[in-house]
């Protein structure tokens, strides 16, 4: 069975601070995909990034960056220079070709509050 754990339930920062969200996953599959989604107060899940298990290269996309480490089964996500509009719940998710239709298994989410 697949499992995703987000140990941080809520993080509060002041604008312009960096925020790092932790994600630890469990899967027996050798091929899998990891995702981060953002859920603002409006409720819609917004896709942010996706990574496959064969590519551990860490990248930066604008103010977002991620750190994928297979050795520790972690896929952490960082928002640099946070802004008030970054306030939302962030979900880490896992999928694999072996799962039903590539269904997503989500973590419990981390609520980020960015104060002005």
Q: Which of 16, 58, 81, 108 binds another protein (CB under 8 A)?
A: 108
CB of 67 to another protein, least distance (A): 20
CB 35 within 8 A of CB 103: no
Residue 41 vs 116, nearer CB to another protein: 41
CA distance 87 to 57: 27
x/- mask, another protein, residues 13-42, rule CB under 8 A, reads --------------------x-x-x----x
**Residue 10: partners with Cβ closer than 8 Å, 6 or more residues away:** 110, 111, 112, 113
Instruction: Give yes or no for residue 112 binding another protein (CB under 8 A).
Output: no
Composition of the chain by helix, strand, coil, percent to 5: 10, 50, 40
- What backbone phi and psi angles, to 5 degrees, belong to 85? -70, -10
Q: Which of residues 40-59 bind another protein (CB under 8 A)?
A: 42-47, 50, 52
The residues that touch another protein, with contacts defined as CB under 8 A, are 4, 33, 35, 37, 42-47, 50, 52, 91, 93, 95-97, 100-109
């Amino acid at each position: 069975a697949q499992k995703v754990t987000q140990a941080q339930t809520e993080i509060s920062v002041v604008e312009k601070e960096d925020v790092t969200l932790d994600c630890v996953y469990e899967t027996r599959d050798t091929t899998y995909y990891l995702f981060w989604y953002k859920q603002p107060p409006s409720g819609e899940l917004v896709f942010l990034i996706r990574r496959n298990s064969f590519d551990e290269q860490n990248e930066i996309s604008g103010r977002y960056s991620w750190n994928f480490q297979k050795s520790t089964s972690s896929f952490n996500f960082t928002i640099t220079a946070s802004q008030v509009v970054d306030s939302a719940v962030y979900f880490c998710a896992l999928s694999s070709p072996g799962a039903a239709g590539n269904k997503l298994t989500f973590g419990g989410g981390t609520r980020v509050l960015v104060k002005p």
